[in-house]
């Protein structure tokens, strides 16, 4: 396992708990040492990692997508042999995965793109794995996937050739965007109904059982509201890791409408703006054509004096 961050480190522990021998490497010597204390075999370099694995090797890359993944895979090529496998469990673009699979095939090295969902809860709950690559390689490595999954027959699937795993994970995250946005809007409407003084935590807890909108995301919403009933400790700033954008772009390329996912992505963009210009323009237009009242900027020293 290369990359021992929140996901990689927990995956190592789950594999060790399942009886696998795991060789670990990370740029942080402290992270490698921590994995050794759990029972892993630590490596001081990629070369050292490759030497400590018996053939056919399986090297799982769990580093940030983009250039870090590209550089890691390129560095592994001269260290591995025909018949070895590189697995990418990060949030890579599926087109990059297809390209990497073709490139590695020229060296006789197999490539598996593993869309991995589960976050920080994966250690306990297991990970949902969406796996692309050769069927025979999947079958050889299936014991690894079965250990990482919630159960041997749950949460893991070989979804198609190289690239398919990250494609399915991309769509998975787009769906997640839409679900999260729907919950956010619903709870905001209830919070705004001041006359009822609704207990949002109690409502979330009630919805968790029997309701058609129950889900793990709702479980997490209930947990967040229990910790901070009014979410006062948070800023209304929502980042995105890229998969939502790729999903929307794919819907455009395929001419498949995806209005909910698209709008949920746009709402994330809006959350990062301070006094968005577009909203100011809306206010200005209403004032121009209808004389509707506008609120002057707090930075306008003359605001409200005329």
| 2-21 pLDDT, tens digit each | 999 999 999 999 999 999 99
pLDDT in tens, 226-247: 999 999 998 999 998 899 999 9
* Fold category of 170-271 in CATH: 1.10.1040
Q: pTM of whole model > 0.75?
A: yes
For the chain, what percent of residues have pLDDT higher than 70?
97
pLDDT score of 290 more than 90: no
Which residue in the list 47, 70, 125, 176 is annotated as catalytic? Answer: 176
User: 126 vs 294, which has greater pLDDT?
Assistant: 126
- Of 15-29, 48-62, 131-145, 290-304, the range with the lowest mean pLDDT is 290-304
End-to-end CA gap in the chain: 67
Catalytic-role residue among 169, 188, 227, 235: 169
CA-CA-CA-CA dihedral for 254, 256, 257, 261, to nearest 10: -70
**Would you place residue 80 in the very low, low, confident or very high pLDDT band (cuts 50, 70, 90)?**
very high
User: What pLDDT is recorded for position 184?
Assistant: 96
pLDDT of residue 291: 79
The yes-or-no answer to whether 6-161 and 170-271 have a common fold is no
Binning pLDDT at 50, 70 and 90, where does residue 300 land? low
Q: What is the pLDDT of residue 306?
A: 32
> Is 176 marked active-site?
yes
Q: Is 156 exposed, middle or buried (0-12, 13-18, 19+ CB in 10 A)?
A: buried
Cβ 93 vs Cβ 70: under 8 Å:
no
Whole-number pLDDT of residue 83: 97
Q: What is the mean pLDDT of the chain?
A: 94
- The stretch 17-36 carries a mean pLDDT of 97
Superfamily of domain 6-161: NAD(P)-binding Rossmann-like Domain (3.40.50.720)
The residue ranges of every structural domain in the chain are 6-161, 170-271
């Amino acid at each position: 396992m290369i990359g021992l961050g929140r996901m990689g480190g927990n995956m190592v522990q789950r594999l060790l708990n399942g009886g696998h021998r795991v060789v670990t490497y990370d740029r942080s010597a402290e992270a490698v040492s921590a994995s050794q204390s759990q029972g892993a075999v630590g490596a001081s370099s990629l070369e050292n990692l490759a030497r400590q694995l018996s053939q056919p090797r399986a090297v799982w890359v769990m580093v940030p997508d983009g250039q870090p993944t590209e550089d890691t895979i390129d560095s592994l090529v001269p260290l591995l042999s025909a018949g070895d496998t590189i697995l990418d469990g990060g949030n890579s673009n599926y087109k990059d995965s297809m390209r990497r699979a073709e490139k590695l095939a020229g060296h006789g090295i197999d490539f598996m793109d593993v869309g991995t969902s589960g976050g920080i809860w994966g250690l306990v709950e297991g990970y949902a794995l969406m796996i692309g690559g050769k069927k025979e390689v999947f079958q050889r490595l299936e014991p690894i996937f079965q250990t990482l999954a919630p159960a041997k027959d749950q949460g893991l699937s070989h979804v198609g050739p190289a690239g398919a795993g990250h494609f399915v994970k991309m769509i998975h995250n787009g769906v997640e965007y839409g679900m999260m946005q729907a919950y956010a809007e619903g709870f905001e409407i209830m919070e705004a109904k001041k006359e009822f003084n609704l207990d949002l935590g109690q409502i979330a807890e009630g919805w968790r059982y029997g309701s058609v909108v129950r889900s793990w995301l709702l479980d997490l919403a209930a947990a967040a509201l229990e910790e901070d009933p009014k979410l006062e400790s948070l800023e209304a700033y929502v980042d995105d890791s890229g998969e939502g954008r790729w999903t929307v772009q794919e819907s455009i390329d395929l001419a498949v409408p995806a209005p909910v996912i698209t709008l949920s992505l746009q709402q994330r963009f809006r959350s990062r703006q301070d006094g968005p210009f577009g909203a100011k323009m809306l206010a200005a237009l209403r004032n121009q054509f209808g004389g509707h009242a506008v609120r002057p900027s707090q930075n306008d020293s003359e605001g409200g004096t005329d």
